[in-house]
Chain A
């Protein structure tokens, strides 16, 4: 079963969606079974960009406190959004190397949402 879900999340890390938070974000996306796209919350659908690409995520220039929109489409869409929201709302100094990567996504929420 495939389902498209989306969520708007405010970016917490001080440096924005950049460096380690960005890398963790992209890793979480690539490890998920869903296709994920992101854009600024104020952007149109046309501006959605592949979230599995580091350069695409970097190109958004997302700053601390900014809202971004995440769209996930696939069997684990809900769990993927939960995992990505966790990455985006964890201050950078609490973002452990392995703690927030996609292995968590598999283990956390159920996928029947």
Chain B
């Protein structure tokens, strides 16, 4: 069984400059690039193109639209310097090809270095477990600032 994340880890994984509540109107690919650019802007990604190809290859395998209005594009790549999470939201929802056909309204990107398989799974499972709760999703919809989003995530993983 994978470990869970602690509250403190959220601050390292997803500092507020990884969180944007002002995404452009875009399709799935556009959202993936937007989330990636948050991590690029924060200095977490050394090679944008390699990271993007890893993310798209993962989507090619099967979609990261996990249902319940959530998309979690993710990849393990050495294009990233440390485990990182980016967050954004789509008011209208973006088609992530989820099995339940629900468009994704909450979007999380996870990038972890190649050596961090356990960490990768821990972040993915912890986020998923938190997001299954209606209240957590609602609080994320209601969040007005990146600080609010981070606070909800910290509370949700605790």
Contact = CB atoms under 8 A, between A and B. Distances in A.
A58 B1 CA distance: 12
Contacts of A96: none
Contacts of B124: 18, 58, 61
Interface residues of B, number: 26
A51 to B, nearest CB: 12
Given A61-B1, A61-B2, A19 B62 contact: yes
Given A27-B99, A60-B125, A20 B61 contact: yes
Given A40-B1, A59-B128, A61-B124, A54 B99 contact: yes
B132 A55 contact: yes
B40 interface: no
A26 B99 CA distance: 9
Interface string B57-98: 010011101111010100000000000000000000000001
Given A19-B62, A27-B99, A63-B121, A56 B1 contact: no
